[in-house]
């Protein structure tokens, strides 16, 4: 499950079409079995589109951190894990 984090690193690039084919396939494979990451990609795509329609700027810097926060919250909900 922890490799969600690793994928997260690439999701932004993936949405932007900036990853290699092999990475792209790996991500898609992971997405097929991971609804949380699918939601993430969906959200990213919408954000990217909005950014592009609005102004020509790269992804907001805080976006990745926000995505991680969302994922982390989801994991905790899902696995009931908490520190301590
Ligand atoms: Zn995942």
Look at residue 62 and tell me if it is in a domain.
yes
Residue range 74-79: mean pLDDT, rounded: 72
Look at residue 8 and tell me if it is in a domain.
yes
The domain of 71 spans 3-79
Question: Does residue 71 contact residue 40 with C-beta atoms inside 8 Å?
Answer: yes
- How far does the centroid of ligand 1 lie from the alpha carbon of residue 54, in Å? 29
Q: Find, among 7, 35, 39, 34, the residue nearest to 23 by Cα.
A: 7
Look at residue 44 and tell me if it is in a domain.
yes
Helix (H) or strand (E) holding 77: helix 63-79
- How far does the centroid of ligand 1 lie from the alpha carbon of residue 37, in Å? 4
Helix (H) or strand (E) holding 53: helix 35-54
- How far does the centroid of ligand 1 lie from the alpha carbon of residue 30, in Å? 6
pLDDT confidence tier of residue 1, bands split at 50, 70 and 90: very low
Look at residue 84 and tell me if it is in a domain.
no
- How far does the centroid of ligand 1 lie from the alpha carbon of residue 67, in Å? 12
Residue with tokens 């919408």: 46
**pLDDT over 70 percentage in the chain:** 77
What is the total count of domains within the chain? Answer: 1
Cα 76 → chain centroid: 17
């Amino acid at each position: 499950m922890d490799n969600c984090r690793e994928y997260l690193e690439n999701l932004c690039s993936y949405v932007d079409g900036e990853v290699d084919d092999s990475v792209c396939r790996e991500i898609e494979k992971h997405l097929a079995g991971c609804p949380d990451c699918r939601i993430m990609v969906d959200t990213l795509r919408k954000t990217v589109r909005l950014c592009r329609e609005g102004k020509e700027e790269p992804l907001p810097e805080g976006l990745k951190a926000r995505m991680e926060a969302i994922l982390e919250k989801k994991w905790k909900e899902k696995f009931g894990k908490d520190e301590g």
